[in-house]
Structure 1
Amino acid sequence: MYEVAPLLDDPIHNLKTIRDLYRWAVTEMENANLSYGHGSPTSTEDASFLICRALKLPFERFDMFLDAALTHNELVRLVHLIDRRVHDKTPTAYLLKEAWLTGHRFYIDERALIPRSYIAELLEEDLAPWVADPESVGSVLDLCTGSGCLAILAKGCFPHAAVTGSDISADALEVAKINRRDYDLDDELELVQGDIYENLQGRKFDVIISNPPYVTTRSMDALPEEYRHEPSLALAAGEDGMDVVERIVSEAADHLTEEGILIVEVGDGLEAVEALFPDLPITWLSVSGGDDQVFLAHAKDLREYFRN
């Protein structure tokens, strides 16, 4: 039984419908000054998503259910979840054990970073125009795969590709295995434990994608409480946020095919990337977060740059 006695006092018992609970939840969230960086950008969307998915309702049709009555057990469970969201600052995705990315559902728990990446937007377009023919892509590597979400999306884009997801965290890979099974990809998605390219020696890929750790030491210290529920290993990347990115880029040429491409997400790291690789020809890709979040480099340019 959930221990929610402090919240299930008389005023809470007066909540009869989903509309009542939703209104109360939004107010509680607003008063708690929560952070909304894990899928829902506002308290209203976070509350509606939490309530709908906890009740196994389609969140895109939330309005249809607003006047539906709640059972006592439903109310107790939902108040418990909202209490954890408000007082523990637990992200909604962890409370529900699910996250959505470009319309795809993924299992998630605190062993892995909550799925979110601008690279997912690029995969929706099959990485066009950088990949001319998705069916010709033979191999894809997702570095720092975490929950496996980008690797799974990549498999959907490139049906004939052998897709590999690599991560240093054994815990994160256990989450990725759940998602791999949920998408019926046990025989089509390889998961490898290793530090960046460790355990991938001698292997080359047509496409390498990565949403690696890129949070600076200073930014880590200032992160909202919600982010502290996520594995620090998936976020922290040293003084300038480039500890992992530098290794990914500097060793990429050895793992790309002749015409291969590397795509890396770096958050607000544009200046740090350009300072680290001042003469490397890179292209900053346009995503919903701006033109400074994700860059692309070609194998031939990487080989020439690191040869010198």
Structure 2
Amino acid sequence: MTGAEAIRIAVADLAGAGVADPSRDARRLMAMVMGLDPSRLTLHLHDVITDQEEFAFFLHVQERCKRQPLSQIVGYREFYGRRFQVTPAVLDPRPDTEILVEAALAEPFERVLDLGTGSGCILLTLLKEMPGAWGLGTDLSGKALEVASANRAALGLDGPAVLREGSWWDAVEGGPFDLIVSNPPYIAESAMASLEPEVRDWEPHLALTPGGDGLDAYRLITAGALAHLEPGGRLMVEIGFDQGDAVAAMFEAAGFTEVRLLPDLDGRDRVVMGNAP
């Protein structure tokens, strides 16, 4: 069987399972089992695959048919031009989160805190893009920090990036900071059942929802942020598409100035940011 023949079978299986882009995912899985960069797969589609490659390919196709995220199967996700390890212990880095990164990089910083760092994609990207800066990433999940630690080592950031386990401000040391960022759990408990299976069934619920109305993390973050920020320092958080007004009001009530909303790629509110007085 050639790679192209196997992909045709896989596309039909994936489409039947409701996978959104079955052709793309089948090609990514084939590239993985053939040991190729996805950009080179086309050159080898008509190569005959080995029995071992065929077995591994269709095994991974069945995993994807169960709606396991592609990134968890291949083991990584591209984010801001770099490859980050992904496991079921962390959220899959998403393109919309790059908006927060772009906003953070719009001004220089020396000390950055990432609350709920997960895979480390935000913190580590910021430190790679801002040489000389130091950063702390915290997370309640030890397994998430293992992933972040692996990504830190892969990017050569063992020096400037520190990781600590703990709940929100309890894990913070080394401040004050001139930048605090967070992509906290923000999905309301009532909305969890309507999520895509890739998210609802495979990503860590601890990183998806705080329960209730989904806003508890923002209440904690805004209540404690000024005590950990330099005067004029910045706080920015990623939010759900319908949470902009509520979170902006929390920033203002906490004493932040120049509070503003940034839209995502679809024009929906995605980031709230403000400055310490």
TM-score by length of 2: 0.90
Q: Output the CA distance in 2 between the equivalents of 1:192 and 1:117.
A: 25
Q: Output the CA distance in 1 between the equivalents of 2:105 and 2:89.
A: 29
Q: Output the CA distance in 2 between the equivalents of 1:277 and 1:47.
A: 44
1:167 positional shift: 0.6
Which of 26, 46, 49 lines up with 2:11 in the alignment?
Answer: 26
1:201 positional shift: 5.2
List alignment gaps of at least 5 residues for structure 2: none
The structure whose Rg is larger is 1
1:179 positional shift: 1.0
**Residue 43 (structure 1) aligned with residue 22 (structure 2):** yes
**Residue aligned with 1:192, SS:** strand
Runs of 4+ with >4 A deviation: 274-281
- Name the residue aligned to 2:247: 273
**Residue 284 (structure 1) aligned with residue 261 (structure 2):** yes
In structure 2, relative to structure 1, the CA distance for the partners of 1:123 and 1:57 (3 Å cut) is: same
**Kept after mapping to 1: 8 A contact 2:2/2:49:** yes
Which of 95, 114, 139 lines up with 2:111 in the alignment?
Answer: 139
In structure 2, relative to structure 1, the CA distance for the partners of 1:167 and 1:66 (3 Å cut) is: same
TM-score by length of 1: 0.81
Q: Output the CA distance in 2 between the equivalents of 1:66 and 1:124.
A: 37
| 1:10-37 deviation digits (Å, cap 9, x = unpaired) | xxxxxx2222222222221111113x5x
- Name the residue aligned to 2:145: 173
- Name the residue aligned to 2:194: 222
| 1:218-243 deviation digits (Å, cap 9, x = unpaired) | 11122232222111101012222111
Q: Output the CA distance in 1 between the equivalents of 2:127 and 2:104.
A: 10
**Residue aligned with 1:100, SS:** strand
Count of residues in correspondence between the two structures: 272
In structure 2, relative to structure 1, the CA distance for the partners of 1:124 and 1:272 (3 Å cut) is: closer
Once the two structures are superposed, the pairs formed by residues 112-151 of structure 1 within 5 Å of their partners are 112-116=90-94, 118-123=96-101, 127-128=105-106, 131=107, 134=108, 137-151=109-123
1:278 positional shift: 6.7
**Kept after mapping to 2: 8 A contact 1:54/1:96:** no
- Name the residue aligned to 1:245: 218
Identity among equivalent positions (%) equals 33
1:197 positional shift: 1.3
